[in-house]
Amino acid sequence: MVQISERGVNVAVLGATGQVGMVMRRVLDERDFPVKDLRFLASAHSAGQVLSWRGHDITVEDVATADLSGIDIAIFSAGGGTSKVWAPRFAEAGAYVIDNSSQWRMHDNVPLVVAEVNPQDLDDVPDRIIANPNCTTMAIMPVVKPLADAFGLKRLIVSSYQAVSGAGRAGVEQLMNEAKAAVEQGADKLVFGGDAIDFPEPTKVVRTIAFNEVPMIGAIVDDGSEETDEEQKLRNESRKILHLPELKASCTCVRVGVFTAHGMSVNAEFEQDATPDAAREVLSKAQAVELVDIPTAQLAAGKTPSFVGRIRQDQAVDGKKGLAFFVTNDNLRKGAALNAVQLAELVASKHFADRL
């Protein structure tokens, strides 16, 4: 534990050495989070590593042997299995846990919150565990919520174009290695058929991801739907965040050969007429949303808002009750680390105001 300041809250970051953890460390600094003591934790694999934060050297601790006392807020980005074991233990020791994994999102006692969309859900945190939504859900919620409030949302159909960093460091390494192999062997061979390139065996994404699209993220759910768990997350999490338990929603998740920032093609059907002009008017006032002509992944990478554009009347819906649009958002930033830090700010102002 390293003391950063005389006042503030005691913060622990579990998964501090991962991709989301790295962005988390940066965002805590950028937003001038009121940190008193700061701890970085991970597995035995990277325990002992020293990470610098605001000029202080902080040694990474192995969570398995760490003393959990004295932590006010713990931000987790270390996977669902780790969270399942450690979130209740941190909470038992007195910390509010903000978790980035899917482990707790659908638990009744656990609020699932996008900071700009449903912060009121943080009023009741009975188990001291708060969940951060999945990065696809997170990206579209700041756009969908104001449209739902204005026009009454009936149905969502989403296709995602998800970056490899959403699959952790291992996803990034796979794209790097495959792209290198393609360039070395003459990428023009890809024009005439992927078999012409001798790619390394896929190590994380289930098929070659360089210069490819792979419509399989997560595992097929054992409920007869033939959807993946990633595809079901968008429906289930949207219903919980929007407080629309009957919302009709369906999603097809596709991994693409992009390093960071997910894209989502959205077709939304409403109770009332919703023209593109009316939607643009609503979205021009929305928090965490930026209207652009062409929202690309590269535009969104490293930035905060959900970029929305290509807003059209959905021609497959009668009258003017359907909109089609495209959203891009940085999956590591607002999709994970930034929203978690925003939730930590809300928890700090509610429960530790006397220390700020």
Positions at the binding site for phosphate: 105
Q: Which residues are annotated as a binding site?
A: 17-20, 105, 162, 165-166, 255, 331
Q: What is the dihedral of CA 162, 163, 169, 171, to 10 degrees?
A: 70
Q: Is 160 in the site for ligand NAP (CB under 6 A)?
A: no
Which residues participate in the annotated binding site for NADP(+)? 17-20, 165-166, 331
By rule CB under 6 A, what string of x and - marks binding of each residue 17-56 to ligand NAP? xxxxx--------------------xx-xx----------
Residue 266 makes contact with ligand NAP by CB under 6 A:
no
243 included as an active-site residue: no
List the Cα angle 208/210/215 in 5-degree steps. 55
Piece of 150-158, 164-172, 186-194, 283-291 that binds ligand NAP (CB under 6 A) = 164-172
Exactly one of 135, 158, 197, 258 binds ligand NAP (CB under 6 A); which one? 135
Beta strand pairing call for 262-270 and 213-214: unpaired
Strand 262-270 and strand 322-329: the pairing is antiparallel
Alpha helices in the chain (DSSP H): 19-30, 80-92, 135-151, 168-185, 229-242, 276-283, 297-300, 338-351
355 and 9 in contact (C-beta within 8 Å)? yes
CA atoms within 13 A on the CB side of 115: 20
Q: Considering 56, 107, 135, 243, which one is annotated as catalytic?
A: 135
Among 68, 256, 332, 338, binds ligand NAP (CB under 6 A): 332
Residue 327 and residue 329: Cα distance in Å, rounded?
7
Q: Which residue is nearest to ligand NAP (CB)?
A: 18
User: What x-and-dash track marks residues 70-99 binding ligand NAP by CB under 6 A?
Assistant: -------xxxx-x-----------------
* Torsion (CA) 46, 47, 53, 57 in degrees, nearest 10: -130
Q: Between residues 119 and 218, which has the closer beta carbon with respect to ligand NAP? A: 218
Indicate which single residue of 137, 210, 335, 342 sits in contact with ligand NAP (rule: CB under 6 A): 335
Q: Residues at the annotated binding site for substrate?
A: 162, 255
Q: Is 135 an annotated catalytic residue?
A: yes
The string of DSSP codes covering 217-258 is -S-B-TTTT--BHHHHHHHHHHHHHHT-TT-EEEEEEEEES-
Chain residues binding ligand NAP by CB under 6 A are 15-21, 42-43, 45-46, 63, 77-80, 82, 100-101, 135, 165-166, 168-169, 331-332, 335-336
Active centre residues (catalytic): 135, 262
